[in-house]
Structure 1
Amino acid sequence: MACHEIAALRLGLMNILGIDDPAERTHELAELGAAAAEPGPVSAMLRAGDLKNLSRLFEGSLVELQEKVAKTPAGDPKLPYLRSLLILTKQVELDLRAQVDGLGRLYRELEEMHDFVHEIYPAE
């Protein structure tokens, strides 16, 4: 059992952040295995072109994970791992949302600061 959601998110972030680490890429692709080629949000995260889309795809992968956990029989030995994975991915979802919100706030505040500089030093 692999943490496909986390591996795919890391690969998507590598693309968006411009991280070029072939060893890490190979490691995460190995973690994904065949899931990297299966249709769905996990494989789509590998090609996400922006943070908003990556976040949306990650949330979609969590819906699929929740469905998988719900369908897992109570006696399945993988169930505790899957439940732990739900907790981990929920925390990552909240952290990712906070990062995206923070970057959006930074973007808006840059304009405010720019305007403030021109209040002090009017453009001629």
Structure 2
Amino acid sequence: MITNSFAANNQFAAHAGYAPSRTALLKAGIDLYESLPNADVIGAELVAATGSRATLHTKAFIIDEQDFFIGSFNFDPRSANLNTESGVIIHSPPLAEAMLTLVADALPQQT
């Protein structure tokens, strides 16, 4: 699991909700990585928004090396019933494998 570190996060309330779970996640065997504040964000040069307009952040995950999800959806009741969220699930083992490789290659420099 890769998420923002406190230093790389502009959503302090969200981080405060996540931080107490770190120990439990690690004890459950989750490989937990937190991004560096100066991480090289792929595609950042394509986004002109700054400040409060730049708070949308992507969720992405790979399921069983077969399927790939990318979107803004938080998988909580607020996202399901109130917020305007979007996401797509792609069934593509080659894409899932390419994403796994991309993430594995970036982890040492970005977390």
Q: TM-score, normalised on structure 1? A: 0.26
Task: Report the structure, 1 or 2, having the larger helix content.
Answer: 1
Greater percentage in strand: 2
Instruction: Flag the structure with larger Rg.
Output: 1
